[in-house]
Chains A and B, each alone.
Chain A
Amino acid sequence: MTDIKEKIFKNIIQVLMVLTLSILVFLFYFLIREAMPLFDYCKISDFLFGTEWMPVSFGNELKFGIWYFILGTTYVSFIAIIFGLIFSTGIALFITFSLNEKLQKYIFAILDLISAIPSVVFGFFGLQVFSPIFFKMGVKTGNCVLLAGIVLTIMILPFMINSLCMTFFKLKKKYLIAASNLGIDKWYIIASIIIPESIKSIVLSTILANCRAMGETMAVMMVVGNAKVFPHLLGKGETIASLIALEMGTAIKNSPHYHALYAAGVVLLILTFVINQVVRIIGRDSE
């Protein structure tokens, strides 16, 4: 009797697990399926490297170049991870080495809170607080790639700090107790041993955070300016995610525009996917 129950239980678990794990397959399948018809209208190289985006015809030629959006996405997320790198290393060190266990818990709770704050709220915050500052400094409308990068930094911090803390905790166990017994300054150990030892995992977690940063939509969309131009630090840009969020609502089903936005989604998905795999492979070698 219980054997049957055990079997049923295991099967249910298995089916639901398989369902979960196959979501990725569906995701790719359906997105690619919707994206493919675009390439009846335009070549894949024109799509990826074209610089003009004119998806709706007013009698003119349709153009589907997303190169500037790819650049915009990369640029914004690059700024975010550079800032993120500095801040997250700092905070992770602080959490690991300067706080007792109780305080650590509070900081982790705050980090969870940051990752739960709606991205629209972050966008709004950036728009109301930072944008006027940039405007005073002479940036047109105040919205720019740098601002988007700053807002994004706050958003990816919890993720970066969490993965860095894991590394630091391990190393702390390994070295710090011995070192403090010898009476060496804590920060000296950190600078001379722990940082050099964890360089690799710092780099990896930064690249992984880049995935997150590239996919962030609303906050970036609200502060990046959204112009279809080559992105500059203090100029406007547009990311793939914001392109989709802005235009999907207006794209008529099965029009080239619609397919193009799906194709842009596939590009974004593949970008994150590839980065993820690269990190995974490098990370595995070190184990």
Chain B
Amino acid sequence: MKTFSKILQIISYISTILVVGVVLFIYIYFAYRSRNILNINFLLESPKGLVLGEEGGIFPAIIGSIYFSTTAVLIAFFPAICSAIFIKFYAKKRFRRFAHTLIENMASVPSIVLGLFSYTVFVYRLGFGRSIFSAGVALAIMILPFLERRFEKAFDEVDINLINASNNLGIHKYFMILRLVNKESFKEIVSAVLLCYGFAMGALAPMIFTGAVAYSAVPNSIFNPSMALPMHLYLLIAQGETQLDRAYATAFVELMLVLIFNIFAYMLIYKKK
């Protein structure tokens, strides 16, 4: 038992250091490799060059990614919050369990399968074609369970006395819930949305054949396809050697975007306390 406890202790220290180290290493490595490319022009120019991406920047891809994520969050937000409210405040215990099971299952659906789903239903059957919207739906289904769970958690943290008191005062339930969403849980909700926004931004599998394209100008409608950061990165890597520097820079921009969204999300909830 003595040695086992020693081993556990060592494993626990080493693995924590390793994982934190890997994250740091990824950031530093990508920053280092993209140091020559990364400047304001890279962010604000279109990709150019005889072989696309050899020159110029990634502006349309950044804007495209914002379009994709915004669409996804807009589609997923209301279903997610409504499910969370229903499960938390209206559902009976058995139904709550059933709903949680479904949502857990939804969370484990592989993202590529969501791409397949949107491909047959939205791209073909409903005739949206390859578009930001079609991909947005797939992304929305991907982030929906995560949003829902975080919303529920946000409601969990509300003082139970508030709910009881308002019930006793005869305040209507809907009024109380709306207040909850607006005030008490507002920060947690926004932070959940931010986290999922970043998450949707990095996903490629749901959009790879439903809405992302190799080249487009800055998007102007969600019913057109668009470039997206992960797709652009993937194609740069696939095209190989000559564009690797730019691939590093693109990856670093993605990493920074994700980091910024995470920092904002955490600032919101940690500052409160």
Contact = CB atoms under 8 A, between A and B. Distances in A.
Interface residues of A, number: 85
B15 A87 contact: yes
A9 interface: yes
Interface stretch (B51-59, B157-165, B247-255): B247-255
Nearest to A187: B5
A265 B112 contact: yes
Contacts of A9: 174, 177-178
Interface of B: 1-2, 4-6, 8-9, 11-16, 18-20, 22-23, 26, 29-30, 78-80, 82-83, 85-87, 90, 99, 101-106, 108-117, 119-121, 124, 141, 144, 148, 172-175, 177-178, 195, 198-199, 201-205, 208-209, 229-230, 233-234, 237, 244, 247, 251, 254-255, 258-259, 261-262, 265-266, 270
B262 A116 contact: yes
Given A20-B148, A94-B13, A269-B113, A124 B251 contact: yes
B116 A262 contact: yes
6 cross-chain pairs, A with B, having the tightest CB-CB distances, nearest first: A215-B110, A118-B202, A90-B15, A191-B5, A16-B82, A9-B174
A121 B254 contact: yes
Interface of A: 2, 5-6, 9-10, 12-17, 19-21, 23-24, 26-27, 30-31, 33-34, 86-91, 93-95, 98, 105, 107, 109-110, 112-121, 123-125, 127-129, 154, 157, 185, 187-188, 190-192, 195, 208, 211-212, 214-218, 222, 241, 244-245, 248-249, 253, 261-262, 265, 268-269, 272-273, 276, 280
Among A91, A114, A119, residue most surrounded by chain B Cβ atoms (within 10 Å): A91
Contacts of B255: 117, 121
Given A86-B15, A112-B262, A187 B6 contact: yes
A228 to B, nearest CB: 18
Given A16-B78, A154-B22, A187-B6, A244 B112 contact: yes
B258 A91 contact: no
24 contacts: A13-B86, A14-B86, A15-B82, A16-B83, A20-B80, A23-B141, A30-B117, A31-B113, A89-B12, A107-B20, A110-B19, A110-B20, A114-B23, A118-B229, A121-B26, A125-B26, A125-B30, A129-B29, A157-B19, A212-B108, A217-B111, A244-B113, A248-B119, A269-B109
A105 B270 contact: yes
Given A20-B80, A21-B99, A87-B18, A119 B9 contact: no
Contact of A249 (B124, B178, B205, B208): B208
A129 B19 CA distance: 16
Contact of B117 (A31, A90, A214): A31
A113 B262 contact: yes
A33 B121 CA distance: 11
A115 B261 CA distance: 13
B90 A13 contact: yes
Given A21-B83, A217-B112, A121 B251 contact: yes
Contacts, number: 249
Given A2-B172, A121-B26, A121-B233, 11 more contacts: A19-B79, A21-B83, A24-B106, A33-B120, A94-B12, A105-B270, A113-B258, A120-B254, A215-B112, A217-B205, A276-B105
B8 A195 contact: yes
Contacts of A191: 1, 4-5, 8
A280 B173 CA distance: 33
A148 B252 CA distance: 21
Contacts of A89: 11-12
Contact of A23 (B6, B106, B247): B106
Contact of B16 (A86, A90, A124): A90
